Amino acid sequence: MLALLGIAVIVVGFVLRFNPLLVVVVSALVTGLGAGLDLVAIIEAFGKAFNESRYISIVWLVLPVIGLLERHGLQARARQVIANLRGATVGRLLIGYLLMRQITSALGLTSVAGHAQTVRPLVAPMAEAAAEQQTGTLDPDTRETVKAYSAATDNVGLFFGEDIFIAIGSILLMKGVLEQYGILLEPLQLSVWAIPTAIAAFIIHGARLWWLDRKLAQLRGPSAAP
Amino acid sequence: MITLQFVYVVTGIVFAAFALLSARDRSNAKRFGNAAFWGLLAVSFLAGNQLGDFWNGILVLLLVAIAGLGALGRGKPRTTTTDERRAEADRHGNRLFWLALIIPATALIGTLLFKRLPAFFESRQVTLISLTMGVLLALAVAAAWLRPRPLVPLEEGRRLMDAVGWAAVLPQMLASLGAVFALAGVGDVIGEFARDVIPAGSLLGAVVAYGVGMALFTMIMGNAFAAFPVMAAAIGVPLLIQGYGGNPAVVCAIGMLAGFCGTLMTPMAANFNIVPAALLELRDRNGVIRAQILTALPLLAVNIALIYFLAW
């Protein structure tokens, strides 16, 4: 049971809003000590895992390109395109993005889009421009909400699309785990069962985006209507 | 042959540039904190395999010390104003989108093409290699078309990197924590606990415990991959599949997706929830999670219902 102390550290640390890096390291130390490992062994285990998972952080390579494009007006252009589009709303825009993200992920194209590649430079500014049109003036809280929904839509689209693709990591993991119990399945047998949830995710999140549009329309108020 | 090592060297050089540019940025009162933080990451990418496990661990502790002591500031390299950007957007028009699409397009084509050239590319890593190629290609095209001064792309990259700050390494840190959890046997304890709470003889109870357990344990671990083997071993295989005779494909595939609902609700899934909050400069670090909870909870209920009705 001592091994679970590390989980308690995580929960308390995140709730009390300590620096998350600090919380993670303290949790690793507590977990390791609770399991009877000595300090050097814990540092070594953590260092080894950190070195082996460097691939997670290579996404930051795209920042010089995104930053340069921002400097030359990429976000501004994304805003202009939406501002010139009649009838563009946050809901319609993000529902379209959700569908596109689900379909491309289902085809295995998970790294075609993402928070650094598409959400910050394109989707979020477009959504903000649409919200400005819908509400007249966009107050800071609503702007925050619209940006958060842009990131959320990318996550929902990715998570509930990618498992339809047969060669994605989670499908291969399930196949491997089942094999340990002598159950042999083809990836396709697993991936078809991701389709009902993908449809449900589109309906639920799409309904919430539609609801967001209604809330934005109310913000405009009767007096500001054209 | 081009391997993952090539990707790491390119990334290391970019982090080294961020470090050097931070060190000479007098507008940032904490410039040496930033220089040390990005510099340590550069060392990790360039020389991580030579450092050995212990010194990699020490490197992590130094990163954490810099972030934990609040020694990381935010550089403000000069960039264009809002008005200048509007003028630039008018001038360049939609061609800016094409330039932005070079990276994903190269990643896609490279992934498909390089797999067929195992003599030249490490075939297991083609996506990361082609992503890197896409970045280099986009930079080359941008340099030829927009003609920025040589340091400008790196300065613009550093502007965004400093906006993300310490959150940049949180996903990698959490993955490493997962390794320590595995070493300490955290999963086994959780699995035992999950088995204990199921009411005996209730199929619905077992399905609910499995689905909710996947989501909860995913929230603790930060990803469903770590939770799945544990919950499969505790409830999924012995009880639902072997005990009640459920369809293994349904139990596993939709169980995993129940876990993904947990991913939407936890700060531990930093790359999906905390990093975008930093990248979009939200005031609330948990803003993205807040926007996701009301999608995740009904979807979790749907997943549990789907397992219950489709597996038998």
Angle at alpha carbon of residue A201, lines to A133 and A122, rounded to 5°: 40
With contact defined as beta carbons under 8 Å apart, do B302 and A197 qualify?
A: yes
With contact defined as beta carbons under 8 Å apart, do A69 and B142 qualify?
A: yes
| Residue numbers in A near B100 (CB within 8 A) | 65-66, 69, 74, 121-122
Between the ranges A105-109, A195-199, B2-6, B172-176, where is the mean pLDDT highest?
A195-199
Domain ranges for chain B, please list them: 4-169, 185-310
- What whole-number distance in Å separates Cα of residue A143 and Cα of residue B2? 44
Percentage of chain A exceeding pLDDT 70 = 96
Q: What pLDDT digit, counting tens, does each position of A94-115 carry?
A: 999 999 999 988 887 777 789 9
In this predicted complex, what is the ipTM? 0.90
Interface test mutation site (partner A, options B180, B254, B288, B289, max chain A beta carbons within 10 A): B180
Helices (H), A107-168: 124-135, 140-162
Q: What is the CA radius of gyration of chain A?
A: 22
CB contact under 8 A, B8 and A58: yes
- What whole-number distance in Å separates Cα of residue B166 and Cα of residue B33? 11
**CA-CA-CA-CA torsion sign (B19, B5, A173, A113):** positive
* A209 CA: distance to closest CA in chain B (Å): 10
Q: Which residues are within 8 A (CB) of B25 and not within 5 positions of it... i.e. 6 or more apart?
A: B31, B34, B75, B76, B77
- What whole-number distance in Å separates Cα of residue A142 and Cα of residue A212? 10
- What whole-number distance in Å separates Cα of residue B291 and Cα of residue B295? 8
| Residue numbers in A near B174 (CB within 8 A) | 24
How confident is the model over A64-73, as a mean pLDDT? 92
Q: Three-state SS for B151?
A: coil
| Residue numbers in A near B276 (CB within 8 A) | 115, 119-120, 151, 154
How confident is the model over B69-94, as a mean pLDDT? 91
How confident is the model over B40-50, as a mean pLDDT? 97
Instruction: Kindly tell me if the per-residue pLDDT of A137 is higher than 50.
Output: yes
Instruction: Kindly tell me if the per-residue pLDDT of A39 is higher than 90.
Output: yes
The answer, as to whether pTM is greater than 0.90, is no
Between the ranges A78-82, A118-122, A163-167, B170-174, where is the mean pLDDT highest?
A118-122
- Dihedral of the CA atoms A60, A62, A63, A67 (nearest 10)? -170
Percentage of chain B exceeding pLDDT 70 = 100
With contact defined as beta carbons under 8 Å apart, do A49 and B179 qualify?
A: yes
Q: What pLDDT digit, counting tens, does each position of B209-236 carry?
A: 999 999 999 998 888 988 898 899 889 9
With contact defined as beta carbons under 8 Å apart, do B83 and B92 qualify?
A: no
Q: Which residues are within 8 A (CB) of B297 and not within 5 positions of it... i.e. 6 or more apart?
A: B261, B265
B254-293 residues touching A, CB cutoff 8 A? 254, 256-257, 260, 263-264, 267-268, 270-277, 279-280, 282-285, 287-288, 290-292
